[in-house]
Amino acid sequence: MSKITVIGAAGRVGSNAAREAAGCLKHGDELVLMDIPLALNGLRGIAIDIKDAALTDAMIVATDDRKEIAGADIVVVTAGKPRGPGMTREQLLLENSSIIKGIGQDIGKYAPCAKVIVVSNPMDIMAYVLYKSMGCRPNQVTGMGGALDSRRYRKFLAQEFGCKIKDVEGAVVLGAHGEGMVPITSTVRIKGKKPNDMEKVEEAGKQAVVAGKTMADFGASAYFGPAPAINSMVKAILADTKEVIPSSVLASGEFGIKGIFIGLPAKIGKNGVEEIVEIGITPAEKEKLKDSAKSIRRAMEPIEGADPNAN
């Protein structure tokens, strides 16, 4: 029997992630939708709607009680505040860090063996905060960012080359989940071959970097797109597929980076992060990845407990 808890499930990202997760569960399994007391009534309605949509035999529970985390195999964390008018990035970082710290402490208390997928922004830093506050092994915590960014990159590559998405392979985005992301160009293959027109590859990468901002400019935000990306990680853990998925993980020297959570190729299985895979990238791409790591490190400075030795 499997138990998945989604914290922040009343929000758009959380509810869509829960809907996707419901499709992975069977009779005897449990999906817990968790949010703050103010959102509980709406959350109960979401639970009914998800049950209808998934037609699952799994039990779906709506709650505001953190004790219901107990026994969870997987916890998906989407909780956090959006950036409000007049709020600086540092203020948002500190507010969400406080929220995530409390969640991490509760997961550590009630489900210390759970595998945690952090989605809350700024994601790489929130994954670090949750890891530190949960007091767990590094493999238990990962962040969802690269999975979504890589899906976008693959889509844009197909558009640039006028081919089907299934014809695109090696679309990998590493680094920070944000403006510092690094679309890897050297691994891209179109219909099994290295593309001749690298300008199109570069253009697809640029579009992937600004995809979130593009939606924001239209007054929208991403909540459909993240759900299947999150679910790819959920399925990899439940089925122990050991699929390599770009994920925010605690680097310990891979690609010359250590001490921070950053998007790297990670083999995901029943133990969470089974292995960080050092795929072959060019020296220039490696330098961009190191620069991305530095940007995360700078952004982490307001957070107490940040590793002073991180590269």
Distance CA 188, CA 179 (A): 21
For β-strands 189-190 and 115-118, DSSP reports them as unpaired
- How deeply is 107 buried, as exposed, middle or buried, from its count of CB atoms within 10 A (0-12, 13-18, 19+)? buried
Active site (catalytic) residues? 177
Report cis status (omega within 30 of 0) of the bond before 183: no
CB 139, CB 271: distance < 8 Å: yes
Contacts for 266 with CB less than 8 Å, ≥ 6 apart: 142, 244, 245, 246, 247, 249, 273, 274, 275, 276, 277
Q: Please classify residue 270 by burial: count the beta carbons closer than 10 Å to its beta carbon, then call 0-12 exposed, 13-18 middle and 19+ buried.
A: middle
Which one, of 129, 115, 102, 123, lies nearest residue 4 by Cα? 115
Cα–Cα distance between 177 and 148 in angstroms, integer? 9
CA distance 82 to 84: 6
Calpha distance 175→149 (Å, rounded): 10
Q: Any bridge partners for residue 263, and if so which?
A: 175, 248
